[in-house]
Amino acid sequence: MTSERYNVREAEPRWQKVWDARGIFTTRNDDPRPKYYVLEMFPYPSGRIHMGHVRNYTMGDVVARYMRAKGFNVLHPMGWDAFGMPAENAAMANKVHPKTWTYDNIAAMKTQLKSMGLSLDWSRELATCDPAYYRHQQKMFLDFWKAGLVERKSSKVNWDPVDQTVLANEQVIDGRGWRSGAEVEQRELTQWFFKITAFSEDLLNAIDTLDNWPDKVRLMQRNWIGRSEGLSIRFALAPGSAPAGFDEIEVFTTRHDTLFGASFIAIAPDHPLARALSMRDPKLSTFIEECRHHGTAQEVLEKAEKKGFDTELRAIHPFDPNWQLPVYVANFILMDYGSGAVFGCPAHDQRDLDFVRKYGLPVLPVVVPEGADPNTFKIGDEAFVEDGKLANSRFLDGMSVAAAKQEVARRLERERRGNRPVAERRVQFRLRDWGISRQRYWGCPIPVIHCESCGAVPVPEQDLPVVLPEDVEFDRPGNPLDRHPTWKNVPCPKCGKPARRETDTMDTFVDSSWYFLRFTAPAAKTPTEAKAERYWMPVDQYIGGVEHAILHLLYSRFFTRAMKATGHAHLDEPFGGLFTQGMVVHETYRKPDGAYVEPAGVKVEAMGERRRATLVATGEAVEIGAIEKMSKSRRNTVDPDDILSTFGADTARWFMLSDSPPDRDVIWTEEGVQGAYRFVQRLWRLAHELAELAAPVGAPRPKEFGAAANAVRKAAHTALARVGEDIGRLRFNRCVAHVYEAANALSASLADARSAKKVPSDLAFAFREAGEILIQLVAPMMPHLAEECWAALGKKTLVAEATWPALEPGLLVEDTITLPVQINGKKRADVTVARDAADKDVEAAVLALEPVQRALEGRAPKRIIVVPQRIVNVVA
């Protein structure tokens, strides 16, 4: 028995050095073994890692180390999502250059990540702000352009009229600019777009092939793409009142069955007709102006009060020339979707219903529930959106919704006006093209030169990369590129006349849409290197936060397709397996005056069942508040550095894996960390105790095992089987539980052996075998401790390089099994039978049981359900 303790601070750097020196995590592209590519979403270099990173990278590292032990050539790289707004904000606030700030942060975070003992191939490190990276992005932009996947068009941005600058959605707070406080306006800018909608159908269909993605993410992506089949209908405008050039409004609808319930037509505030009308109607012009005084965020627009403006134009119902519908301009109609115009059927659409209640328009139900009387069926506060039978709809009466849609489409398709059908069936997607222009400095320059005679001209390939100029000032708002004298003004590559560079940079989502491809050959002179790309792609396991479930993943799926179309990749889907982890959350603490206090400054004590918190510095009582996502504003962050230096990487890693299912939030608690640390020490002691009683390394296997030895082996192999299964599914919290169970069993056996004073050779062998298995099970999760214990067991090799132990399945099979016996669905007894007992024999054994006899009171049972190997239920 040893009274020493495991010195984490000494041991962890020591093992990290050993791994480094042997270069065991550097991955070769020409390794003959099967490949496995595991990747965690790369971090934004904010300056310090946070607990979310610790969790994310621990999970990936467990997978990487496990797959390495299973004999795969594992790629596990790391890089930096290094462009973005915070660097510019820091530049404005602290007068530090974005580049300096970013690279300092990278250096600091790299040190932190290294202290976590992650099995990363640092030789492949990349930063997206490095011209060596973004030059390839510029090249691909040009290739995409040639391939017809890039487009320039107008779109809306948040404009701060005081700062004269474009704002991100997060910089708009309650409709006002975050710095100036000025009311934000929408402004139209001509911007660059990637034509992601060219792949709408394919991006949607291919979701079905992503078997190793969470269902919820697949569903979210499907909904985001939002395919709907509907009808595009041309409503003629009543003659006389409409501005010149406008004689009809085209609407898109998926509810053409409700056409006879239509009460109005609504068009978007930026619909061409609305604009034309506003020229002659100052009131409408004011209304449209009001609509522009929102940010561009969808959430804000849809939460805003529904408002409309009656244009006094009238549209003619396609089935009845005498039926006229009012035309409104409405703030909830989006120009981006469909044709920017809808017909409103209030009885069967909640938003339309709310709208007509406000403006006093009629509500006529045209679909009624099966069996309801159309004459008495009334719409109250809620629209009827379910299936039913058509009513009040002339030739559609009595039809189902589906049949009515068919009939309406059939009739209107045949009808022609002005040499075109009045309606056409259309497939509509909610997905919009990807606007990539950002009016900011710290991003990848868009390699285009604007010339008055030649238009937008691609920068010639030999002039790539277009490098960001470093002599920029952030003393005022706006994009410094736009006011840079020499960088901006260049001759046109085509005609040589004075021209100017595109000063917009790319959305940072572009940077992160192909870094996983670049990792396969990070030094290649082209964006990718075909052989390496074919070998490594797709990423077998991608791990990151759910908050990226839609945008980042969808953009990456698009980008990979676009790279395939331009010869830079060979496949469509970049991520074979996806796992979305939950957040790290923590209790909040507040002083009586309401101010938040950091956990590091708070002492929490248990008072029996209750807990109370006090300030360490003053002893002042602090209120324990809600558990929330770690954030600076709530001051409930825990600095990974503090944890790593106090308890070590293994403790932090173990705790991150142990407490919650990885796809759910984990609550960081001081007690939990203490518990993890205790287990680190316990396992270290266990290894040393085992070493005293276990057979030496390489001892011959006994021919037979006694009961005690068998029990030890069984515990170890059971854990081995379960951990293997659960790591494969990333159920790390269960792996942890299995390790605890194995350790508990082994501790108990050791105690027995010690009190018996003599350890027979079969048991000594079992101790060695079980000890090695246990350490190997722990190794992916707590790699430093595992090396230390491995050495304590007398091994001269590294556990990081050891092959995963072989399972003996025979040890897991029992001769007899004990089945729970239920009476009327409630467990009342157990029955032990032979493993392969026939159902009949099981029934007989169950009927003989005393509690069953008692319950039956001499009657025959109504039914007996025997679920083989699981349970027996007697229905009395």
Q: Which is nearer to RNA, 171 or 541 (CB)?
A: 171
Tokens describing residue 108: 């600091």
**Rule CB under 7 A: is residue 557 a binding residue for RNA?**
no
**Rule CB under 7 A: is residue 227 a binding residue for RNA?**
no
Among 163, 352, 507, 533, which residue interacts with RNA (rule: CB under 7 A)? 507
**Rule CB under 7 A: is residue 625 a binding residue for RNA?**
no
Identify whether the C-beta of residue 613 lies closer than 8 Å to the C-beta of residue 603.
Answer: yes
State the minimum distance, in angstroms, from the CB of residue 44 to RNA: 3
Site residues (CB under 7 A) for RNA, limited to 116-155: none
Q: Rounded CA gap, 876 and 874, in Å? A: 6
Identify whether the C-beta of residue 56 lies closer than 8 Å to the C-beta of residue 732.
Answer: no
State the minimum distance, in angstroms, from the CB of residue 296 to RNA: 7
State the minimum distance, in angstroms, from the CB of residue 246 to RNA: 27
List, as own/partner pairs, every contact residues 605-613 make where C-beta atoms lie below 8 angstroms and the sequence separation is at least 24, other chains included.
Answer: 613/589
Site string for RNA, 573-612 (x = CB under 7 A): ----------x----------------------x-xx---
**Rule CB under 7 A: is residue 173 a binding residue for RNA?**
no
Among 29, 254, 614, 681, which residue interacts with RNA (rule: CB under 7 A)? 681
Distances in Å between the alpha carbon of 179 and those of 92, 162, 171, 183, 768? 12, 9, 8, 11, 66
Among the listed residues 567, 522, 512, the one whose alpha carbon sits nearest the alpha carbon of residue 142: 567
Q: Which is nearer to RNA, 9 or 827 (CB)?
A: 827
Beta bridge partners of 187: 157
Among 489, 618, 744, 797, which residue interacts with RNA (rule: CB under 7 A)? 744
Q: Which is nearer to RNA, 423 or 730 (CB)?
A: 730
Identify whether the C-beta of residue 408 lies closer than 8 Å to the C-beta of residue 259.
Answer: yes
700 prior amide bond cis, ω within 30: no
Among 659, 689, 769, 788, which residue interacts with RNA (rule: CB under 7 A)? 659
Q: Rounded CA gap, 636 and 496, in Å? A: 58
Instruction: Determine the interface stretch with RNA among 22-30, 32-40, 591-599, 652-660 (rule: CB under 7 A).
Output: 652-660
| Count of residues near RNA by CB under 7 A | 100
Q: Which is nearer to RNA, 277 or 673 (CB)?
A: 673
Q: Which is nearer to RNA, 117 or 662 (CB)?
A: 662
State the minimum distance, in angstroms, from the CB of residue 573 to RNA: 19
Q: Which is nearer to RNA, 442 or 804 (CB)?
A: 442
HSE (side-chain half, CA atoms, 13 Å) at 870: 5
**Rule CB under 7 A: is residue 671 a binding residue for RNA?**
yes
State the minimum distance, in angstroms, from the CB of residue 395 to RNA: 31
Among 238, 546, 565, 624, which residue interacts with RNA (rule: CB under 7 A)? 546
Among 8, 11, 75, 85, which residue interacts with RNA (rule: CB under 7 A)? 85
Identify whether the C-beta of residue 434 lies closer than 8 Å to the C-beta of residue 425.
Answer: no
Instruction: Determine the interface stretch with RNA among 273-281, 663-671, 693-701, 790-798 (rule: CB under 7 A).
Output: 663-671
Q: Which is nearer to RNA, 7 or 526 (CB)?
A: 7
Distances in Å between the alpha carbon of 1 and those of 4, 348, 444, 688, 721? 9, 77, 61, 8, 30
Identify whether the C-beta of residue 238 lies closer than 8 Å to the C-beta of residue 315.
Answer: yes
Instruction: Determine the interface stretch with RNA among 13-21, 78-86, 362-370, 777-785 (rule: CB under 7 A).
Output: 78-86
Task: State the angle between helix axes of 8-22 and 783-792 in degrees (0 to 180), rounded to the nearest 10.
Answer: 90
Among 535, 741, 802, 861, which residue interacts with RNA (rule: CB under 7 A)? 741
State the minimum distance, in angstroms, from the CB of residue 211 to RNA: 16
What is the DSSP secondary structure assignment for residue 142, as one 8-state letter? H
Tell me if residue 545 falls in helix, strand or coil: strand
Among 740, 811, 833, 847, which residue interacts with RNA (rule: CB under 7 A)? 740
Among 56, 158, 541, 651, which residue interacts with RNA (rule: CB under 7 A)? 158
Backbone angles phi, psi at 840, to 5 degrees: -60, -45
Site residues (CB under 7 A) for RNA, limited to 687-726: none
Plot region of 824 (φ>0 → left; ψ -120 to 50 → alpha; else → beta): left
State the minimum distance, in angstroms, from the CB of residue 696 to RNA: 26
Site residues (CB under 7 A) for RNA, limited to 202-221: 215-216, 219-220
Q: Rounded CA gap, 359 and 362, in Å? A: 9
Site residues (CB under 7 A) for RNA, limited to 508-527: 508-509, 512
State the minimum distance, in angstroms, from the CB of residue 419 to RNA: 33
**Rule CB under 7 A: is residue 17 a binding residue for RNA?**
no
Instruction: Determine the interface stretch with RNA among 95-103, 256-264, 589-597, 679-687 (rule: CB under 7 A).
Output: 679-687
Identify whether the C-beta of residue 839 lies closer than 8 Å to the C-beta of residue 868.
Answer: yes
Site residues (CB under 7 A) for RNA, limited to 333-392: 336, 350-351
**Rule CB under 7 A: is residue 666 a binding residue for RNA?**
yes
**Rule CB under 7 A: is residue 421 a binding residue for RNA?**
no
**Rule CB under 7 A: is residue 298 a binding residue for RNA?**
yes
**Rule CB under 7 A: is residue 614 a binding residue for RNA?**
no
How far, rounded to the nearest angstrom, does the alpha carbon of residue 445 sit from its chain's CA centroid?
A: 27
> Sheet harboring 185-194: ordered strands across?
165-167, 150-160, 185-194, 434-435
**Rule CB under 7 A: is residue 558 a binding residue for RNA?**
no
Backbone angles phi, psi at 115, to 5 degrees: -70, -10
Site residues (CB under 7 A) for RNA, limited to 228-267: none
Q: Which is nearer to RNA, 119 or 749 (CB)?
A: 749
Buried b / exposed e across 97-135, counting CB within 10 Å, b at 16+? bbbebbbebbebbbebbbbbbbbbbeebbbbbbeeebbb
State the minimum distance, in angstroms, from the CB of residue 251 to RNA: 19
**Rule CB under 7 A: is residue 93 a binding residue for RNA?**
no
Q: Rounded CA gap, 193 and 149, in Å? A: 8
**Rule CB under 7 A: is residue 826 a binding residue for RNA?**
yes
**Rule CB under 7 A: is residue 827 a binding residue for RNA?**
yes
Identify whether the C-beta of residue 498 lies closer than 8 Å to the C-beta of residue 489.
Answer: yes
Q: Rounded CA gap, 731 and 733, in Å? A: 6
Q: Which is nearer to RNA, 21 or 93 (CB)?
A: 93
Q: Rounded CA gap, 85 and 101, in Å? A: 12
**Rule CB under 7 A: is residue 531 a binding residue for RNA?**
no
Which residues, at least 6 apart from 603, have a Cβ–Cβ distance to it below 8 Å? Answer: 613, 614, 615, 616
**Rule CB under 7 A: is residue 873 a binding residue for RNA?**
yes
Q: Which is nearer to RNA, 524 or 627 (CB)?
A: 627
State the minimum distance, in angstroms, from the CB of residue 192 to RNA: 10
